[in-house]
Amino acid sequence: MKITATVPGKVMLAGEYAVLDGGRAIAMALDGRLEVQCRVSFANANPAKTRITLTSDLWPQPVSFELPEGRPEVGVATPFVDAAIAALDFFEQKPATLEFSARGNLDPALGAGSSSALRLATLAAAERAANSTKATDLDAIESLAVNLQRLTQPAASGYDVAIQRRGGGIVFCAGQSTVIPTRDLERLTNHVAIIAGGRGAPTGTTMREFLGWLTPVRKARLMSLSEAQVDAWLAFMEGKTDLTPLVTTIAAHRTFMADSPVFPHGPAKILDQVPGVDRTWTWKPTGAGGEDSLLLIGPAEDINPAISAMTSSGWQLSTMGFCREGLQLC
């Protein structure tokens, strides 16, 4: 039996860190995708061990290991290994072999959710393979993917798994997702560009540094600035305002973040010299921060000089755009 699951990339427009304390976040699905194929065999009626094999275009050789009764703890290996081990719990009858093959264009350097996509796709493919005659339990899959994520990160809201499951756009708060109407996504296409490059910023390390800096006073200020930014994004997407309130709130949020240990000062030196910054266009880090992906927000004619400045410094413009499709199984 072979099952294929594909999952889109993701980007957070607003709500980073505030979402960990009950604030709202806006997340969007990206049309880069990661695909995981699951093959399962029950060659033996009751095998003593299950052999798990993992292949991916991210490494040259397969990873293969056997699991006897009483599988090991998860949360100590890679996202792929952990998800493959956890997937065994979906099977009432123990399989003799469980093979997963992953491929896609969610480069980890782009900060587009490659790890969360790998967990979600692996679990979804295995759950369908184990329960092919039943409806897929997406809630259970999402919950398990988030629990695995929390074993390896100092804090995780689960927004990335939520948007990658659903696609389109969501407002995420306290574990609940509100889908953004499709019509409201159209205004983003010509006003948001994603660039990546820099030195990269591992999520776990970056989060620990920021959370260590976030005193109660700073947290209160962050929550206020973040909520104002979410309101401005939603008003812009709904066509209630022009870009001005959005530019203003993003600039204020970025000014606050500039004092934190995860602020990308290198790109800031470049972008803050581009004409019109924080007037006709603006920019912000995304996700956990650091020199990872950045968002450029404004009309194309205003952000094109910023794109040129960053690409001249070795960064790259992402080819991924927003998409409506979430997790898909076949």
Q: Is it the case that residue 227 has pLDDT exceeding 90? A: yes
Q: What is the mean pLDDT of the chain?
A: 90
Q: What is the pLDDT of residue 186?
A: 81
What is the spatial distance between Cα 228 and Cα 275, in angstroms, rounded to a whole number?
Answer: 25
Q: Would you tell me the crossing angle of helices 216-237 and 244-257 to the nearest 10 degrees?
A: 160
Q: Is it the case that residue 105 has pLDDT exceeding 60? A: yes
What is the spatial distance between Cα 62 and Cα 65, in angstroms, rounded to a whole number?
Answer: 10
* DSSP conformational letter for 62: -
Please report the DSSP string for 84-129 in residue order: HHHGGGG-SSPPSEEEEEEEES--GGGTS-HHHHHHHHHHHHHHHH
What is the spatial distance between Cα 309 and Cα 311, in angstroms, rounded to a whole number?
Answer: 6
57 exposure class (CB count in 10 Å sphere: 0-12, 13-18, 19+): exposed
Q: What is the pLDDT of residue 196?
A: 84
- Band (pLDDT 50/70/90 cuts) for residue 205 is confident
Chain centre to alpha carbon of residue 190 = 21
Q: What is the pLDDT of residues 249-285, one digit of tens each?
A: 999 999 999 999 999 999 999 999 999 999 999 999 8
Return the closest-CA partner of residue 274 out of 219, 195, 329: 195
Q: Is it the case that residue 15 has pLDDT exceeding 70? A: yes
Exposure on the CB side of residue 87, measured as CA atoms within 13 A: 34
Tokens of 118: 């790998």
Q: What is the pLDDT of residues 48-83, one digit of tens each?
A: 788 999 999 877 789 898 887 655 566 566 889 999
More confident residue, 190 or 124: 124
Number of Cβ within a 10 Å radius of residue 69: 8
What is the spatial distance between Cα 208 and Cα 162, in angstroms, rounded to a whole number?
Answer: 22
Q: What is the pLDDT of residue 155?
A: 79
Q: What is the pLDDT of residue 59?
A: 76
- The two beta strands, 97-104 and 2-14, are unpaired
Q: Which position has the token pair 């000014």?
A: 255
Q: How far is CA 18 from CA 77, 114, 115, 155, 159, in A?
A: 28, 22, 21, 12, 12
What is the spatial distance between Cα 167 and Cα 135, in angstroms, rounded to a whole number?
Answer: 19
Q: What is the pLDDT of residue 198?
A: 61
Instruction: Kindly state the average pLDDT of the residues 181-196.
Output: 88
Can you give the three-state secondary structure of 127-155, one letter per residue? Answer: HHHHCCCCCCCHHHHHHHHHHHHHCCCCC
